[in-house]
């Protein structure tokens, strides 16, 4: 697992080749196995590979979602906010499980934050995607993960550049 964490980097440029149906099945299984608080499973996953819809997803935010138009696959991670008071955490856990599974399949991925982000001056990214995807009012979108075959291999972050000063043993000790 540590090797997967070492290798995983955000990928925003993808080859045009599709993600195979077998890979999609594995990604979906990983999502469905993601842990949730009290087993409530408030999340819902919308799997999108239609180029026209990917283009629309890429317009969710003014910045930080354009790469979705170049991805052969995107998975929207949303939740029924009534089912759990910790739906945000549950969705975030599912998102990272998805990204680690993608990495294990030699696929690249990148997270596009949606919750608390603007679409434009009048509307939130969440409102834009809820309308686009016809989600019920009680739902909220946490993020969209773009997935595909990376155009280039990125080198891992060097271990000596990890922020060790953020790790405290026994008690917090300011740097």
Predicted local confidence at residue 173, as pLDDT: 87
Measured between alpha carbons, how far is 4 from 36 in angstroms, rounded to an integer? 22
Predicted local confidence at residue 175, as pLDDT: 75
Q: Of the candidates 13, 4, 129, which has an alpha carbon nearest to the alpha carbon of residue 60? A: 129
Burial level of 166, CB count in 10 A (0-12/13-18/19+)? exposed
Query: What is the pLDDT tens value at each position of the chain, 175 positions in all?
Result: 999 999 999 999 999 999 999 999 999 999 999 999 999 999 999 999 999 999 999 999 999 999 999 999 999 999 999 999 999 999 999 999 999 999 999 999 999 999 999 999 999 999 999 999 999 999 999 999 999 999 999 999 999 999 999 999 999 988 7
The second-level CATH assignment, the architecture, of 2-149 is 3-Layer(aba) Sandwich (3.40)
Measured between alpha carbons, how far is 60 from 125 in angstroms, rounded to an integer? 5
pTM value?
0.96
């Amino acid at each position: 697992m540590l090797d997967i964490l070492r290798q995983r980097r955000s990928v925003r440029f993808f080859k045009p080749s599709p993600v195979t149906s077998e890979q999609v099945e594995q990604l979906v299984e990983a999502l469905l196995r993601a842990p949730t608080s009290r087993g409530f499973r408030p999340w819902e996953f919308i799997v999108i590979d239609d180029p026209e819809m990917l283009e629309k997803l890429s317009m969710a935010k003014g910045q930080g979602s354009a790469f979705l138009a170049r991805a052969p696959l995107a998975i929207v991670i949303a939740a029924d906010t009534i089912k759990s008071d910790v739906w945000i955490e549950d969705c975030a856990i599912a998102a990272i499980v998805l990204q680690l599974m993608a990495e294990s399949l030699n696929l690249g991925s990148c997270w596009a934050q949606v919750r608390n982000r603007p679409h434009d001056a009048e509307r939130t990214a969440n409102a834009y995607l809820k309308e686009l995807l016809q989600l019920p009012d009680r739902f909220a979108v946490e993020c969209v993960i773009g997935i595909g075959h990376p155009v280039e291999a990125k080198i891992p972050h060097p271990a000596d550049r990890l922020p060790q000063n953020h790790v405290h043993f026994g008690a917090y000790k300011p740097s």
